[in-house]
Structure 1
Amino acid sequence: MQKAGIYCWILAALLAGCSKDDSSDDDDNGNWRELSELAGDPRAEAVSFVIGDTAYIGTGFNGEDYLRDFLKYTPRSGWTQIADLPAAADARSSAVAMVIGQTAYVGTGQNELGYRLNDFWSYTPSKGYWEKKASLIGPNPSLELNRKDAVAFALKGNGYVATGYHNGALKDVWMYSPGEDKWYPRQSFEGTKRTEAVAFVIQDKAYIVTGVNNSENKIDFWEYHPDEDDWVELREIANTNDDQDYDDDYDMACSNAVAFVKNNKAYISTGTKGGLSKLTWEYNPATDMWLQLREFEGVARTGAVGFTLGNVLYLSTGRSSGSYFDDLYSFDPDETYNEDD
């Protein structure tokens, strides 16, 4: 998830083609490190969230079973098991998670029977257990809002769920008020319908990008302003501008990628684009530009999770064909690539 100016230097063109950075080759921009594996099952289509100095990963599918377990991670202490989703909550994959204050909310997804879900559960570390919250139900209870592969984010004390899949791709948007424990409809996503997109938040604005519908990876990119309940279209993430060359090498359209944020820039990595991807991109909202960085150094995958902890970016889990992963990688976009770590 990132955009940045793409400039070609003459010398670089003579030696190795166009660079997307004015100081170094893409392969040197950013550095990945492999860390300790997840303490639980390998999995894909899990959820992750961060509260304070701790990251959490849970749910997902391990190739045989749908999961309801959760683990927490700190760089100092490593991995520790926490309370599972309760028995009243279906084990699931392709759910969403969002954090409002010191409480995480996990919901939607798909269970072992293939049913799309609409229930939500909250977890507050100081309590140490999960509590049932209002299911995703709007003013018209007959309207089915169950879904999988949606996106979720939190803005100004409220949570949001958007897009996803239920008998087709979706573009509706719902706001959760934690004080009322209620859901309210908001302005529908103004881009094309999609599932398996990513969302991120920078300075009280949310962004939705990537995703797929009708087997087509989506290239439109949108910014959401919660106060106005309004969507603003940004530059497309493909080479569609014939008059300028900033997008000549854009190649970030994909589905089921991960997103993370650091220092008011966003990052997307991995996912599916025909085959599995290892590409990593940085988005700068100040310029509405993307910059390609060092590709992910693990196995190409889809259905991973990404999170930011202590100003470090992390990527974990996912799958490649029939292989499911429990690995963990950190990424520093400001470091030069080091092949020895």
Structure 2
Amino acid sequence: MISAFTSCDSDEDEDLLGAYTKESDFAGVARSGAVSFVIGEKAYVGTGYDGKNRLKDFWEYDASKSSWTKKAEFPGTARSAAVSFTANGKGYVGTGYDGLNYLKDFWEYDPEADTWTQIADFPGSARYGSIALSLEEKGYVGAGYDGNYLKDFWQYDPATATWTEKVGLGGSKRLNGFAFTLNGKGYVGGGVNNGLYESDFLQYDPATDTWTRLKALNEDDREDEDAYPSSRALAVTFTLNGKAYLCTGTNGSALTEVWEYNDLGDLWTQKYSFEGSAREAAVGFAIGNYGYITTGNSGSYRYDDLWKFDPTLLTED
């Protein structure tokens, strides 16, 4: 695999904004390849792989109390590398890998009733390592791996409980890419395709069902002074106050780098590096004015620590 990335040293980090606070550890077992979503002011984390077993427990995080509460267990097959999205006040989880099989079932979580309901299966092939987005109260799922690398893209509308195939990704196929939603558009990048880290970066417009190629995560589209993250797989993303954040992941080695994306000008700004251990296959979410990162792995070691990130503060050494 290509596209090496050099970590910033402490001197380079000194003038970068971003401060971290270690919060109450995730209450489930340490794991990687979990899913997360936010409904209202609470986050939900579940499924994943603890190094021996796939998991199906689910937990709610209340940031106002810095507390975790166990919720109704995910009723589908225990799995890792699934995807999740939110729409109309519900959470959705599906696809993934159970250790033997690729999966395509999908489930809806109601936080008010603390219940799960199975919905129509994902209509694409059974797969893991896909990307997912929430846009305009609809969910989008695509790419991943079903024995081959994929780039198809599907929309789920909870109002009609139906899946619709949309235009496939306007770039490369990918496994374990990153995705986020910002100001009404979807963004997809990174991931691995046939052993190579993909550097294309794409914007999806749900109004026109079209993809636009943005500046790639390499020097080909950049001026000498441009800052940008290298491509990576198994990264964390979240959005805060009109900006998106790309955190951790791997490009052959687990990473701690954190980058802020501004869609006005297609610009990246490096933030202070993640202060927890370098990791991949973590989960991230945003509540209020803060981002959160938890779980993940580095090699065979898995994590259960939780870190709160404030991108506006200067870290004090």
**TM bin (shorter chain):** over 0.9
Question: Displacement of 1:338 after TM fit?
Answer: 2.3
Aligned residue for 2:74?
A: 85
**In structure 1, how many angstroms separate the alpha carbons of the residues matched to 2:128 and 2:206?**
23
Aligned residue for 1:330?
A: 308
Question: Displacement of 1:212 after TM fit?
Answer: 1.1
> Which of 110, 123, 126 pairs up with 2:112?
126
The answer to whether the 8 A contact 2:143-2:153 is kept is yes
- Structure 1 residues 156 and 76: CA distance shift in structure 2, 3 A: closer
Aligned residue for 2:5?
A: none
Indicate the percent of aligned positions where both proteins have the same amino acid: 40
Aligned residue for 1:230?
A: 210
Q: How does 1:10-49 map to 2 (within 5 A)?
A: 27-49=15-37
TM-score by length of 2: 0.93
Aligned residue for 1:72?
A: 60
Aligned residue for 1:54?
A: 42
Moved more, 278-287 or 175-184: 175-184
SS at match of 1:200: strand
> Which of 260, 265, 281 pairs up with 2:243?
265
Question: Displacement of 1:34 after TM fit?
Answer: 1.2
Aligned residue for 1:10?
A: none
The answer to whether the 8 A contact 1:66-1:93 is kept is yes
Encode CA deviations 1:131-159: one digit per residue, 9 max, x unaligned.
0100012xxxxxx5111010111111211
Aligned residue for 1:285?
A: 263
Question: Displacement of 1:325 after TM fit?
Answer: 0.6
Question: Displacement of 1:85 after TM fit?
Answer: 1.0
Encode CA deviations 1:204-256: one digit per residue, 9 max, x unaligned.
110001111122111110100001000011111112247x2233x53421110
**In structure 1, how many angstroms separate the alpha carbons of the residues matched to 2:14 and 2:193?**
30
TM-score by length of 1: 0.87
SS at match of 2:156: strand
> Which of 215, 224, 227 pairs up with 1:245?
224
Aligned residue for 1:94?
A: 81
1:182 aligned partner, one-letter code:
T
The answer to whether the 8 A contact 1:164-1:195 is kept is yes
Aligned residue for 1:189?
A: 169
**In structure 2, how many angstroms separate the alpha carbons of the residues matched to 1:252 and 1:265?**
18
The answer to whether the 8 A contact 2:16-2:270 is kept is no
**In structure 2, how many angstroms separate the alpha carbons of the residues matched to 1:185 and 1:26?**
46
Aligned residue for 1:164?
A: 144
Number of aligned pairs? 306
**In structure 2, how many angstroms separate the alpha carbons of the residues matched to 1:76 and 1:334?**
20
Does 1:311 pair with 2:289?
A: yes
SS at match of 1:91: coil
Please list every run of 5 or more consecutive structure 2 residues that lacks an aligned counterpart in the other structure: 1-10
SS at match of 1:93: coil
Does 1:63 pair with 2:12?
A: no
**In structure 2, how many angstroms separate the alpha carbons of the residues matched to 1:57 and 1:324?**
15
SS at match of 1:273: coil
The answer to whether the 8 A contact 1:26-1:292 is kept is no
1:303 aligned partner, one-letter code:
A
- Structure 1 residues 325 and 27: CA distance shift in structure 2, 3 A: farther
1:305 aligned partner, one-letter code:
V
RMSD: 1.4
SS at match of 1:119: strand
- Structure 1 residues 26 and 259: CA distance shift in structure 2, 3 A: farther
The answer to whether the 8 A contact 1:27-1:293 is kept is no
Q: Which has the larger radius of gyration?
A: 1
**In structure 2, how many angstroms separate the alpha carbons of the residues matched to 1:246 and 1:130?**
49
The answer to whether the 8 A contact 1:91-1:112 is kept is no
Higher strand share: 2
Encode CA deviations 1:16-72: one digit per residue, 9 max, x unaligned.
8xx8xxxxx665321112111011110000000000010000000001110000000
**In structure 2, how many angstroms separate the alpha carbons of the residues matched to 1:302 and 1:258?**
8
2:300 aligned partner, one-letter code:
G
SS at match of 1:92: coil
SS at match of 1:41: coil
* 4+ runs deviating over 6 angstroms: none
> Which of 103, 107, 119 pairs up with 2:90?
103
**In structure 2, how many angstroms separate the alpha carbons of the residues matched to 1:239 and 1:296?**
24
